[in-house]
Amino acid sequence: MIEELIESLIADEVLVKSAAHPFMLSFQWLGVAVIYLVLSLVLFGQRPDLAAQFQHPWFAAEIAALLCILVATSLSAALLVFPDLHQLRGFAFAPLAAFVLLIVVLFFAWRADTPPAPLPLHSFACTLSIALFSLLPSAAMFFVMRRFASTHARWAGSVALLFAFSTGALWLRLYEVNDSIVHVIEWHYLPMLAIGSTGMWLGKKILKW
């Protein structure tokens, strides 16, 4: 009887596909983000003085810091979907260091902005543009993360939205002709605080299981 039960269980065995390693998952998300970013720049164009802007060290440093945030948030999100963080807890906090780097860069860029560049005529339009740009990567991130079993749903949701919003922020810096660091801080980066909080709420609603 027991042997028949064992044979029955073996016959009913369902093969479960192994989850991708967090590094590979992060690499895939970064690849999709880069493709999305490049296609958007091809479609909408880039700022005409982009090559000249990269001659300014603090602009180049800001772009590098944004790239660091993209890498850090994608890796952190990939780890946070696993209940045990794949035994790589330290990497899950990588976004903190990346955001500190951005703050330092923005501080020195603000100090170097003398005399201050004129403010653009628009204000919240930049935040709205970044948010709209981020909708597609945000939805894709939550769709993929929902298939895992995160026990850190709030933080996973927050980091996922920050990854998507950072993609949008990078796109806008490469697209918009705007040299006002005060405007960039106020309407590009400070909204990340609200985005992170929104991500925590969405994570609890969508990723909790």
Tokens 């479960």 map to which residue? 16
Each residue of 39-72: pLDDT tens digit? 999 999 999 999 999 999 999 999 999 999 999 9
User: Could you count the other beta carbons within 10 Å of the beta carbon of residue 159?
Assistant: 29
Position 163, amino acid: F
Q: What is the pLDDT of residue 19?
A: 65
Q: Is residue 2 part of a domain?
A: no
Least confident span in 123-127, 170-174, 186-190, 196-200: 123-127
In a domain, 16, yes or no: no
Tokens of 177: 């002709």
Nearest C-alpha neighbor of 73 from the set 107, 133, 10, 30: 30
Q: Is residue 143 part of a domain?
A: yes
User: Which stretches within 113-149 are classed as H helix?
Assistant: 125-145
Region 101-111: mean pLDDT is 96
Look up the domain containing 35 and give its range. 21-114+121-207
Asked if residue 9 has pLDDT above 50, the reply is no
Domain membership of residue 144 (yes or no) is yes
* pLDDT tens digits for range 122-146: 888 999 999 999 999 999 999 999 9
Q: How buried is 81 (Cβ within 10 angstroms: 0-12 exposed, 13-18 middle, 19+ buried)?
A: buried
Q: Does 15 fall in a domain? A: no
The answer to whether residue 9 sits within a structural domain is no
**Mean pLDDT rounded to a whole number for the chain:** 89
Q: What is the pLDDT of residues 23-48, one digit of tens each?
A: 899 999 999 999 999 999 999 999 99
Determine, yes or no, domain membership for 191: yes
For the chain, the domain total comes to 1
Residue 37 lies in a domain: yes
In this structure, the dihedral spanned by the alpha carbons of residues 195, 199, 201 and 206, taken in order and rounded to 10 degrees, is 150
- Does the bond joining 115 to the residue before it have cis omega, within 30 degrees of 0? yes
